[in-house]
Structure 1
């Protein structure tokens, strides 16, 4: 393979943020952590390669046993482009799938929520516990989504009455065990 076609990890763009990393965190050395405010990543969380955590607009906290997939962005500056100091809080057992975006702006994603592939959570939105944002769905800036809501990409919504929150958490814990063996982790790079 020529040098022209080699795969390199993304270069961090921006300042290096202060971090508080759990010793049980799994984070790829090709993840990108940038910003000026603190980034806190709790225990047994998995950060995939090329995931981007940006604390330029405010403090960023990711709960325990979360999975942030490739090309997902947490803490993105909103569509307005204005940087207003505002935090992002992601609860425990949250999955942020490939290409999903959670904008900064006192944004909260509740425990057990799945942010689907390519979904977007606007600045200041509050997504309740155990919600499912299907692929390419959008939550408007400042919107409040009740617990157990399923949001579809066409704007339709329903309440999830299956009562499988505990089963989903157990399944996610098993998935994290597998990912921890598959993803080479280098938290020292971000300390």
Structure 2
């Protein structure tokens, strides 16, 4: 007779001050997400914050657009080497996907609408990534770099502009379907963070 062993995962605890928040009523935010800092964190309509995602507003405001997805172990607003305080530390446009274990440093960092930041990538402080870009997994976007709209950045540092026609509405519909599934899978508890 074999016995099943269940591992007990300790709850994730907040470290640092509880930040002021402004949430849309339609967001999904996992109970085990971590929000810290002293500046306002705004999360817009139908965005999804996965378990163990970390949003830090120590260096300035965090603005997450509508229908964004921030996956597990991603960190938005990490204090980079510059460590400067800014008006808006990080701004994610609408329909941005931040994949697993991504780090986006604070410092007027902007991620444009419809952009995907691939698994394990790092975006340095003050970087501005244009609309509908694809940052492939394990890429390192240096601090202050500007990447034009529709660019594809590879982990080896090479880039190209994607000249294929972009079916933005189809991309948005696909992300809306993904969000619908995630909303059913991730138990949401926005009240915990207010």
Q: Does 1:84 align with 2:124?
A: no
SS state at 1:169 partner: helix
Task: Give the TM-score of the pair, scaled to structure 1.
Answer: 0.95
Q: Does 1:131 align with 2:133?
A: yes
User: What are the equivalent positions in structure 2 for 1:16-55 lying under 5 Å apart?
Assistant: 16-55=18-57
Structure 2 unmatched runs, 5+: none
Partner Cα separation in structure 1 for residue 84 and residue 10 of structure 2: 30
Count how many residue pairs are aligned between Structure 1 and Structure 2.
188
Partner Cα separation in structure 1 for residue 73 and residue 23 of structure 2: 20
SS state at 2:35 partner: strand
SS state at 1:61 partner: strand
Structure 1 unmatched runs, 5+: none
Partner Cα separation in structure 2 for residue 102 and residue 113 of structure 1: 13
Tell me what 1:184 maps to.
187
Determine which of 52, 58, 61 is the counterpart of 2:60: 58
Q: Are 1:127 and 1:146, in contact at CA under 8 Å, matched by a contact in 2?
A: yes
What is the CA RMSD across the aligned residues, in angstroms?
1.2
Structure 1 window deviating more from structure 2 (160-169 vs 7-16): it is 160-169
Tell me what 2:124 maps to.
122
Q: What is the Cα deviation at residue 11 of structure 1?
A: 1.1
Q: Are 1:108 and 1:125, in contact at CA under 8 Å, matched by a contact in 2?
A: yes
**Deviations 1:37-93 (Å, cap 9, x if unpaired)?**
00000010000000000000000000000000000000000134x243342100000
Task: Give the TM-score of the pair, scaled to structure 2.
Answer: 0.94
Tell me what 1:147 maps to.
149
Tell me what 2:177 maps to.
174
